[in-house]
Chain A
Amino acid sequence: MRFKRSLFVVGAMVFPVVIGATSPQVVEQARTFVVAATRPFLEFQNQTSHFFQTQIQYIVEWPKLRQENQALDFELKNLKAELATFKDMKRENARLETLLKLKENVHQKARAARVIGRDPSHWSQFIVINKGFRDGVNKNTVLVHPDGLVGKVVAAGGHSARAILLIDDQSRASAMNERTRDVGLVEGVGSFTLKMTYLDRQSDIQIGDIIVSSGLGGIYPKGIPIGKVELVGGEKNSPTLYAVVKPFAPFSKLEEVLCVPPQTNG
């Protein structure tokens, strides 16, 4: 009896790990299936909580609304005037871009997706979005937030997909210093900061420099902002430097993301 129990415990600990090691594709399919099956619940829950959050916000902001309305009315008039100027600038910019034969950083087929689920684990960092391969979101589709790079899709179901965030410690992205054009590798360290490694020791990287994707890895398009350098360091005998980068994307409160096809498909 005691032997049987010990055997059960050992089996319970080892068997799933063996499956994970020997059949990663089966595991991936099972996970995609679970995400697809839970998507309606996640979406419903997400919409419900969003509705209540909005209603609470309306109630809280009610007294300020009148004053804000007047201020916004005034601002709107100013913005309309500015918009006319910007339209001219945009046309000029488009002309110059054609002239300089600049490649577009972000693909035309980008589509918006809503974050409907988050990782319940304490260690990995991934999200579930409400777009899948039927919506044109496939494996390696890049997720971008207006503030910066978010991550990429690791598995896509019909109308949902799982995506790994840049801050996950299994995440890597080829990046460069926007000012000096020094190239390195940005990786997650399991916290809210990123680490940029393999920086040339001669590079002139400084605190406050902006780090963008370099486009060299073949997945992330070039030029997407990643974060700002907060610290620069290097081991004594190492030929390279590293930098601690504070990401621009608000990973803890992501609600919507933009899905951009990977560079290899573009």
Chain B
Amino acid sequence: MRTASDQRLIFLLLGIVWLELSVLPLISINQIKPDFLFIFIVFYAFRINWNRVVTLAFFVGLIRDLLTNSFFGLETAACVGGAILVRFFAIRFDRDKRWIQLASLFTFSWANLLLFSSMDFLVHEHHHLFNQWTLVRMFLISVYTTVVGIVFLPLLEKLPRSIFREKQYELF
């Protein structure tokens, strides 16, 4: 059961990576683009299995690292760091409330981008990431991702939730 679910997760993840590569350049506005992978991580934490979200974030980060040109490992570290935050939100708050999901998505996006910039600052000699435009960009990317999340999260819920069917009940 778990293996079949994992296989479906891999296919879904590959589909989202494909979306990320093909659709994002078309909806990018002045280098500001939403992030489907961020949305998927938050969706996974809130609707599927918060306990494994850090592992998922690790693999998502690795894929991003392999597909980008930035210093290898930073995307993974930023994704894992952000996922810890999302996991915390998923445990502490009501996972069914949409506004909590969206607030977590915004926080995750922003934390991820900030973590990446901070670590990049340490590894690159020529660094322009902490100027005013970069901070504005981080904010705008997070807002754009959250806005896309308003449409994308219910869509994801309709499609793959029937595929995974993993229960997330805790005994209080």
Residue in A19, A21, A123, A168 whose Cβ sees the most chain B Cβ within 10 Å:
A123
Closest B-chain residue to A13, C-beta based?
Answer: B77
| B-binding segment of A67-75, A184-192, A258-266 | A184-192
Please, how many angstroms separate the alpha-carbon atoms of A192 and B126 in the complex? 17
Complex interface bits, A1-12 against B, C-beta within 8 A gives 1, otherwise 0: 000000011001
State the CA gap A189–B134 with chains docked (Å).
Answer: 10
Segment of B1-9, B39-47, B60-68, B91-99 engaged in the interface with chain A = B60-68
Roughly how many angstroms separate A63 CA and B13 CA in the complex, as a whole number? 43
Q: Mark A120-131, 1 if CB is under 8 A from B, else 0.
A: 111111100000
In the complex, the number of residue pairs spanning A and B with C-beta atoms less than 8 Å apart equals 120
- B interface majority secondary structure: helix
Q: Which residues of A contact B66 (CB under 8 A)?
A: 30-31, 34
Task: Please name all residues of chain B whose beta carbon is closer than 8 Å to the beta carbon of A169 when the two chains form the complex.
Answer: 124, 126-129
| Interface residue B69 (Cβ < 8 Å from any Cβ of A) | yes
Q: For A126, what are the chain B residues with a Cβ–Cβ distance below 8 Å? A: 68-69
Q: Any chain B CB within 8 A of the CB of A117?
A: yes
B73: chain A residues within 8 A (beta carbon): 15-21
Q: Tell me whether A16 and B61 are in contact (CB under 8 A).
A: yes
Check: A203 CB closer than 8 A to any chain B CB: no
Assess the A12–B58 pair: CB atoms within 8 A: yes
Say whether A120 contacts B70, CB under 8 Å. no
Binding site for A on B (CB under 8 A): 17-18, 20-22, 24-26, 28, 30-31, 33, 35, 37, 54-55, 58, 61-62, 64-77, 80-81, 84, 113, 116-117, 119-120, 123-124, 126-129, 131, 133-134, 137, 141
11 cross-chain CB contacts under 8 A: A9-B84, A12-B77, A17-B76, A20-B72, A31-B66, A34-B67, A123-B120, A124-B69, A190-B133, A192-B30, A252-B28
Closest 3 CB pairs of A and B: A20-B72, A17-B73, A16-B73
Q: Add 20 more A-B contacts to A123-B129, A170-B126 (CB < 8 A).
A: A12-B77, A13-B77, A13-B81, A16-B72, A17-B71, A17-B73, A19-B72, A20-B71, A24-B72, A34-B66, A45-B18, A118-B25, A119-B69, A122-B116, A124-B70, A168-B69, A169-B124, A189-B128, A190-B128, A190-B129
